[in-house]
Chain A
């Protein structure tokens, strides 16, 4: 499994430096995406779509209006850290105090290491154990395969996001409770696309299926994955941690926005379902997100040592 990455929106029109910046991004685990057009309206349209961003890399003279654009972005999406590239000064010196507060840091091409330290503390503020990331993708793929047996399942590189935008129209959520982490897992997807998959898989019987059948399938997917997570990573003597703490979860349906009250990045996986007997069909994405907003103690993470001796999934263990 590749390292966890994060996508950043690159608003930098200094093409002469693009190759060196791109190399630096790759080194830091960032995947840079650039808008096709540089106008503010286009940038804001990208931000309103679901692009699962970890942050914004903004050049102070982008489109001749870098600061103006920063104000608009910050007002619209304050959860996204903005990293300001400047021509001459590696600080926010000279900016109005209110403007300076919009930026996580300011840097020049000559001091990229300063930027790196800030990236590590803001976007990559949490390190997820490789065994956890690999395990989640494995058992989620198995669960998807059991529910969508007519599909091939591809998994994209896991990534971190600071975004709080919900993808699609349907999402499930289940609380994650263990001695080393507490939070939530979500699946997010588009209704029509997945409904089409399960209708076609069911044949004639599926012709009249509605969102209710879709809800059932996604509910079972969530149940299967949480069960696998629990069996693999949650100790069976799981009774000593403090389960009382809770924080409000805020959902804004109009803005497709969800907040767990934490500034920490979410760990995201994207699974792409491709129907085997319809190779020309549009692939269907399902997004899986983890937010460990109530407790994160990776030093206590471990896989259950008894995993090899556990009965295989689907087999009957007779008593």
Chain B
């Protein structure tokens, strides 16, 4: 089964998003920051989509996305940011890193789930 990696330093968000995705039939792996996200992505080749926060300790979500594309040479996995950030400059940086989409918190599961399923498939 295709897996989704949820990366957020807040366990509240990891639980909320993870539980919602699982309840909608998706398999979920979680990570606590960008570094952990890279490790989990490497350890779980079946991950097809990453849903990540931007502002996190140790490594932020945009840096993680850039490393996924540039250092790990992984262009196949889809990346979506789930964040309170909404600045055009950050979105531009995200686009340049091949991010597929941007969700402004708080997470609204029903609005997002249909699109996520299409991206995973």
Contact = CB atoms under 8 A, between A and B. Distances in A.
Interface of A: 142-143, 146-147, 213, 216-217, 219-220, 223-224, 226-228, 230-231, 236, 310-319
Nearest to B113: A316
Given A142-B106, A216-B12, A319-B95, A311 B100 contact: no
Nearest to A234: B87
Given A318-B115, A319-B102, A227 B12 contact: no
A314 B111 contact: yes
Contacts of A147: 12, 106
Interface magnitude class on chain B: 20 to 34
B115 A316 contact: yes
Contact of A317 (B85, B87, B102): B102
The 6 A-B pairs with the shortest beta carbon distances in the complex, nearest first, are A227-B84, A314-B108, A146-B106, A220-B12, A231-B86, A216-B12
Contacts of B85: 227, 230-231
B83 interface: yes
A316 B102 CA distance: 6
Given A142-B106, A143-B106, A316-B112, 6 more contacts: A147-B12, A223-B10, A223-B84, A236-B87, A317-B103, A319-B91
A236 B84 contact: no
B86 A318 contact: no
Secondary structure dominating the interface of A = helix
A245 to B, nearest CB: 23
Nearest to B87: A236
Nearest to A307: B86
Contact of A319 (B12, B13, B100): B100
A231 B12 contact: no
A315 B116 CA distance: 11
Contacts of A142: 106
B55 interface: yes
B66 to A, nearest CB: 15
B84 A226 contact: yes
Contacts of B83: 227
B105 A224 contact: yes
Contacts of A315: 103-104, 108, 111-112
Interface string B48-77: 000000010000000000000000000000
A220 to B, nearest CB: 4
A314 B86 CA distance: 12
Contacts of A223: 10, 55, 84, 105
Nearest to A237: B89
A147 B10 CA distance: 12
A214 to B, nearest CB: 10
A143 B89 CA distance: 24
A230 B107 contact: no
